[in-house]
């Protein structure tokens, strides 16, 4: 358990140092790309912890707890007025997808898709009524169906 906490702390802390307040000085398009890649990494990392050490719910809760600590410390890089760590908690919901349905690569892609969708839709929902979980589910379903279509086309 201690290994998991150390790995998560190093992961999040390194991203805090990289993102920090420097994100404000970067053009919006680059901020969005960084946010998308970060959400993909959070989703991937959540699934990896769930596969190796914990179940999906506990791994999401653990990463969410650590992200919440950084929110309380008021270390909140923002992209388009959204806190990166608040949106990243929703990316842990993507990482809860079973490896039976999405490979780690697929979870990363779904996390990137979640990051893009979250940055542009969540400001209008104000995080009410499970918007992050619904968006995470939709992103997973999109990637799963795209992979099924690709397999179907190969079979023809």
Quick: pLDDT tens for 65-95: 877 776 666 566 666 667 777 777 888 888 8
Range of the domain at 77: 2-155
- CA separation for the pair 39, 2 (Å, rounded): 24
Quick: pLDDT tens for 95-153: 888 888 888 888 888 988 988 888 888 777 766 667 788 888 888 889 888 888 888 87
Q: Which structure tokens are listed for 143?
A: 């990637």
Quick: pLDDT tens for 20-41: 555 566 777 777 777 778 788 8
What is the Cβ-side half-sphere exposure of residue 94, based on CA atoms within 13 angstroms?
Answer: 39
Q: How many domains does the chain have?
A: 1
């Amino acid at each position: 358990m201690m290994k998991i906490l150390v790995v998560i702390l190093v992961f999040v802390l390194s991203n805090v140092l990289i993102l920090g307040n420097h994100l404000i000085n970067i053009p919006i398009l680059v901020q969005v790309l960084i946010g998308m890649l970060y959400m993909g990494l959070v989703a991937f990392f959540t699934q990896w912890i769930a596969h190796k050490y914990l179940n999906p719910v506990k791994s999401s809760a653990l990463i969410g707890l650590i992200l919440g600590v950084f929110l309380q410390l008021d270390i909140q890089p923002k992209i388009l007025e959204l806190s990166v760590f608040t949106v990243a908690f929703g990316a842990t919901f993507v990482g809860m997808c079973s490896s039976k349905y999405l490979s780690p690569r697929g979870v990363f892609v779904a996390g990137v898709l979640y990051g893009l969708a979250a940055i542009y839709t969540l400001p209008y929902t104000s995080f009410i009524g499970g918007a992050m979980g619904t968006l995470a589910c939709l992103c997973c379903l999109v990637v799963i169906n795209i992979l099924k279509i690709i397999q179907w086309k190969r079979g023809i």
